[in-house]
Amino acid sequence: MEDKEIQAKRIVRTITLTSDDLALLDDIERTMSRTGQRIKTDSKLIRAAIQIASKSLNNEQLDLVEIAEKVVREDGRTLSKLLEKEKKEN
């Protein structure tokens, strides 16, 4: 991973989700977990859902692994863990 890699800008918003919304997010998490990508936090799941919805609306090719890897890579906590692991390996 390059030191120059730019992290996504984070904006804090308050959103309200219903029980049905959360059930749908759980379904997205289960589906993406089958690809080998573990996306457990709500913010990562919501970001993945937004990307999936956007690609669907724009009739773009949908690659769950690509979306999952992007969401995990851009997550600050995950990125810091990966950088620590990389430092220990070097």
Q: What is the pLDDT of residue 4?
A: 46
Residues in the chain: 90
Q: Strand, coil or helix: what is 13? A: coil
Using CA atoms, how far apart are residues 86 and 80, in angstroms rounded to an integer?
A: 10
Q: What is the pLDDT of residue 20?
A: 92
Question: Among 42, 39, 44, 35, which Cα is nearest to 63's?
Answer: 35
Q: What is the pLDDT of residue 61?
A: 93
Using CA atoms, how far apart are residues 81 and 38, in angstroms rounded to an integer?
A: 14
Q: What is the pLDDT of residue 13?
A: 81
Mapped to the 3 state alphabet, what secondary structure does 54-72 carry?
Answer: HHHHCCCCCCHHHHHHHHH
With beta carbons less than 8 A apart as the criterion, state whether 8 and 78 touch.
Answer: no
Q: What is the pLDDT of residue 19?
A: 92
Mean pLDDT for each 10-residue chunk of the chain (90 residues)? 57 86 88 79 87 93 86 68 61
Q: What is the pLDDT of residue 44?
A: 85
Q: What is the pLDDT of residue 1?
A: 45
